[in-house]
Structure 1
């Protein structure tokens, strides 16, 4: 059989917010199968076997069958290549360490053309996975070689380049578990948790509560020790020195053995322990000088190094280090022994996905120093049976949280408070963490800002600790979600006018309102951008503003199809109509009935304690009521039979509605009514139509604004404001 031409990727679009597929971000790809439209998987000889040989874990995919092996069953029965590509991409992402389970593939109105989507936490990672998944599938179809490990490595490299580091990812995941939204503020690890005035910010394991003064104190090791000592925290005696000769003099004053380290270094760089001779001390000074602005000589504390994580004044995790040794065999060099006996441990690697780092003697001054004191170099060959010290107190990745003595907990928490850090990694050395420090001569040696969390998330030994959750709980009280109330107005009829009037009414209730609509972007009473701002980026600008306490967004069907909503959930979600399908042929929408799937997105994201506001005069809009997690408020500016019947039934069940009777707005709750302002007078004053007026009133009432304030707000509203 001749080879098939590649499946064509006609359009690739990243949907950042809730969309017609799911609540979360996805990569949507339009596929042209070409001749493969006539060849489902059961008509491609050998393809299924080749595919499973390349990706054995496809056997775990449930697919629509709902059980393990479901996707293989679909392959055997015959499924189209767009669906196969979906599963190939998902599996590549799983192998690259960014697991996902969501994907869908749907045919379009055009022969051989499909829309395929899959969950995408990061756009560039998703595009890379799509590229390699596409190549893999074509190789399987055409019986060509394909390097799966190389493809997975390329995707993994993109994950490392584009996605959060492990510490940030753990905090964001914990926030997501608590239904706290997040916005990434740069290409790195600066993240906003929550929206508007209720937001908090993190940068890896630092927060907007982390004091700059405290961070500078922590960077100055000598100042840190002085402050800790003044509060009764045990610290090793030490001196700042300015030359190798001063270092040796200080070592003699303090008493051997000593430690030499940079005063403002980090990650243990330039630190050499257990120094006993003048030559070793002077050599260690030269090394430490390369890693900091000043050098400290301090008392050597016997024992193992420990790292305790303090969050909000409490110790939430602890890890212990251990000394790394190799044993000579008379044949291999020190470097070769390190690779064979230490770096071969599968827990070791060169990136943050591994709990332990690979040791490289030639690149680590502290390792070189210890080797030299043993009369060795990296290329030396130790005799058979000789034990060689490679690293002292490295690999702080053995969980010991449950063994921390209460007195140690108190001293460590005190140290973090003395320095002033809300999140701190406190290093101490002692022989037994389950005993008080004073009794064993233990001491705190460093207090670090922005500590790494990986050793607690993925310890080499012991129980992983939920430190991401601890940080989120530190930033947000138990009842807090970081959310500001959001109103979304979706449809095509009067939506900009409705959004502006709703924003005005909320403003009168005392809130600082952000508004994004086709007439511009407002922050409070200031219009900061003119023109069409029905864009995902404009919505994010509103949600990032620290002064905004409520937000209103106009959402068109095209926005939902092109970008997704700018927010994940809302307090009030309105749908005005199902019109406008004629302008959406580019998205393969051709029938009015298809608009329901698009505009239901706005109702799908209404919070359980929120409200969906629906136009009862449009039967298709009114039917969305059953999809709303929150309360439903109907409105009708027209007194037609369909609207009257829907509202009557809704009121019989105790529901709320806004309608018009005898030219007056009526606020109805069950069988009770409150008469509002004149429709004709209000429309004349505010220069808007009856539909826009009634819809805005319904949204404001659903938001929680009283009928009296709504009436006063309409009287003071001006479109030019």
Structure 2
């Protein structure tokens, strides 16, 4: 078989919000198969065997068959290479540690050109997986070598660079479980939970409730000890020293053995334990001095190291440490033994995915000092069977949450409150965490702001703890979800005018409103940006604004196709019409059935306690009623439309025009509301209102939307009477 030309990637587009494919962000790729359009998989000699050998886990892909092995069945029967690329990319993401289950590949109106999409939590990771998958597919088609493991490693590296760390990801996952939306605010781990005025922010395990003063106190170990001791929290006696000689004098005063550590270090760096001689104390001072601005000498507390996590004043998780040893074999050096017996542990690594750090035995001053105290160096070859101490602390990875004594839980909760931290990692040294500290001479040795969560999420032994959920429950009350009312307005007829009218009515209802529409970006009644804001980024800015507690966002079919919606769910979603197909050819949307799939996105995202507002004069829009999780409110000029009459007969809400006024009907009950004709006359008389594109149907759409927001008919009437069409604001 002759070598096949590469599949061309014509367009790659990241849909950042709900879209015509799914509720979640996806990478959409336009593919030109070229000559491979005539070569489905069953015609490519040996291809199925080669791809399944390269990626054995493809057998787990159900595909459209709906059962294990379904995709392999499609390969044998014959499927096109765009579909194969979809599954290869999904499997690469799975292997790299970003599980992905959603993908679709659909033909376009142009022969050989397909649209392929797959779930993409991060755009850069998705692009990396696409590039690797494309290369793997073409190599397999042409029977050329390809290193799958190296490709997975490259995708994993991109994941490590770009995606949320495991601690932040656990908190975000807990938020998602409670249907709290989130927005990533930077390339790191700063995340907004919720929208607008109801948002909270986290940065790993710090929150916007974490006091900067408390964080500063926690970073000063001597000050921390002073405050804890004053409140009766057991802490080891200690003193700050200026030089090595003073360290030995302090050790003598406190009584041996002692601990020497930096006052503002972290992660156990520079901490040397169980020091009993002048030489060791003075050497430990030199090590500690390199890791902090000041050095502390403390009484040594016997026992195991523990990390207890306190959230909102409550103990939520605890983990115990273990001492790291190697056993001599009479042949290997200490450094080689560390690599073989400690660093080979899959729990150890350099990324946040690893609960334990790799040990740098050749450069860690504390390790080198402990080896020296045992009469060894990293180049020494311990005799067979000899146990060599490598590291005394920093190996906390054994869950012991269920063992913690209530007195200990109370002590660490008090410690967090004394320092002022809403989330704290409290380090406790005790021989038995199941007994009160006082009766065993245990003590709290540190209180840490922004503690890592991985030891609790992925303990080496014991059960993982739901620490992400604990943090979310701390930030949001049980009946809170961080959401503000969001109104999405989609279609092409007068949608910007509807958006402005609805924003005005929300303003009169006491809301601080953000508005993104064709006329610009508005905060309250002030226009802050004049260019069109029917864009994902403009709308997103409103959702990030702490000053707004309601948002109205105009969406076009093109903006949905280009970026997806800027929000995951909305309280009210309005669709005015099924026009505008002529401007969507670049997206291969050529008929109303295709447009329907795009615009239905606005209805798909309506919350269960919200409403879809639909123009009853458009039969395809009425069909969307069944897609809505919430209520449906119909509007039309004509009260006698069959769809509107049937909807009312079933007890639904509807708005129609009668005698120049809007009538708000709930079932057979009717309330005469806003004077629509008066508003239209006022717009007609206003020279600056030409861009408003207003008519009676537009006004009814706004009235129906306001009513769906439970704004009273009286306030809706007053709002229409006072709405000013002047757009020069």
Q: TM-score, normalised by structure 1?
A: 0.99
C-alpha distance in structure 2 between counterparts of 1:12 and 1:386, whole Å: 59
Offset of residue 593 of structure 1? 2.4
What is the DSSP-based 3-state SS (H/G/I as helix, E as strand, rest coil) of the residue aligned with 2:344? coil
Alignment partner of 1:414 is 2:414: yes
1:575-595 per-position Cα deviation (integer Å, ceiling 9, x unaligned):
000101111000001112211
Query: Do the aligned residues in 1 keep the contact of 2:247 with 2:281 (CA within 8 Å)?
Result: yes
C-alpha distance in structure 2 between counterparts of 1:702 and 1:292, whole Å: 60
Alignment partner of 1:695 is 2:692: no
Aligned residues: 718
2:441 aligned residue:
441
Find the partner of 2:647 among 642, 645, 650: 650
Farther off after superposition, 91-100 or 377-386 = 377-386
C-alpha distance in structure 1 between counterparts of 2:88 and 2:18, whole Å: 24
1:220 aligned residue:
220
Offset of residue 366 of structure 1? 1.3
Farther off after superposition, 693-702 or 336-345 = 336-345
Offset of residue 300 of structure 1? 0.5
Alignment partner of 1:350 is 2:356: no
Alignment partner of 1:44 is 2:44: yes
1:9 aligned residue:
9
Unaligned stretches of 5+ residues in structure 1: none
Aligned pairs for 1:480-491 within 5 A: 480-491=480-491
C-alpha distance in structure 2 between counterparts of 1:702 and 1:387, whole Å: 73
2:664 aligned residue:
667
1:396 aligned residue:
396
What is the DSSP-based 3-state SS (H/G/I as helix, E as strand, rest coil) of the residue aligned with 2:288? helix
What is the DSSP-based 3-state SS (H/G/I as helix, E as strand, rest coil) of the residue aligned with 1:173? helix
Query: Do the aligned residues in 1 keep the contact of 2:333 with 2:378 (CA within 8 Å)?
Result: yes
C-alpha distance in structure 1 between counterparts of 2:637 and 2:246, whole Å: 87
1:184-223 per-position Cα deviation (integer Å, ceiling 9, x unaligned):
1111111000000000000000000001111011001001
Aligned pairs for 1:417-496 within 5 A: 417-496=417-496
Aligned pairs for 1:256-655 within 5 A: 256-638=256-638, 644-655=641-652
Farther off after superposition, 385-394 or 235-244 = 385-394
Query: Do the aligned residues in 1 keep the contact of 2:267 with 2:394 (CA within 8 Å)?
Result: no
C-alpha distance in structure 1 between counterparts of 2:387 and 2:618, whole Å: 83
Offset of residue 365 of structure 1? 1.5
1:60 aligned residue:
60
Query: Do the aligned residues in 1 keep the contact of 2:305 with 2:320 (CA within 8 Å)?
Result: yes
Farther off after superposition, 377-386 or 144-153 = 377-386
What is the DSSP-based 3-state SS (H/G/I as helix, E as strand, rest coil) of the residue aligned with 2:584? helix
1:145-204 per-position Cα deviation (integer Å, ceiling 9, x unaligned):
001111111111111111111110110111011100000111111100000000000000
1:680 aligned residue:
677
Query: Do the aligned residues in 1 keep the contact of 2:496 with 2:519 (CA within 8 Å)?
Result: yes
Q: TM-score, normalised by structure 2?
A: 0.98
Farther off after superposition, 509-518 or 523-532 = 523-532
Unaligned stretches of 5+ residues in structure 2: 685-693
Query: Do the aligned residues in 2 keep the contact of 1:685 with 1:715 (CA within 8 Å)?
Result: no
Query: Do the aligned residues in 1 keep the contact of 2:333 with 2:379 (CA within 8 Å)?
Result: yes
Offset of residue 686 of structure 1? 4.1
Farther off after superposition, 113-122 or 616-625 = 616-625
Aligned pairs for 1:56-135 within 5 A: 56-135=56-135
C-alpha distance in structure 2 between counterparts of 1:372 and 1:381, whole Å: 13
What is the DSSP-based 3-state SS (H/G/I as helix, E as strand, rest coil) of the residue aligned with 1:559? helix
Farther off after superposition, 80-89 or 670-679 = 670-679
C-alpha distance in structure 1 between counterparts of 2:179 and 2:305, whole Å: 37
What is the DSSP-based 3-state SS (H/G/I as helix, E as strand, rest coil) of the residue aligned with 2:322? strand
Offset of residue 679 of structure 1? 2.3
Query: Do the aligned residues in 1 keep the contact of 2:199 with 2:546 (CA within 8 Å)?
Result: yes
Offset of residue 348 of structure 1? 2.1
C-alpha distance in structure 2 between counterparts of 1:279 and 1:47, whole Å: 69
What is the DSSP-based 3-state SS (H/G/I as helix, E as strand, rest coil) of the residue aligned with 2:392? strand
What is the DSSP-based 3-state SS (H/G/I as helix, E as strand, rest coil) of the residue aligned with 1:596? helix
Offset of residue 139 of structure 1? 0.8
2:687 aligned residue:
none
C-alpha distance in structure 1 between counterparts of 2:80 and 2:55, whole Å: 18
C-alpha distance in structure 1 between counterparts of 2:193 and 2:366, whole Å: 39
1:708 aligned residue:
714
Query: Do the aligned residues in 2 keep the contact of 1:686 with 1:714 (CA within 8 Å)?
Result: no
Offset of residue 347 of structure 1? 2.2
| CA-based RMSD | 0.9
Offset of residue 346 of structure 1? 2.3
What is the DSSP-based 3-state SS (H/G/I as helix, E as strand, rest coil) of the residue aligned with 1:362? coil
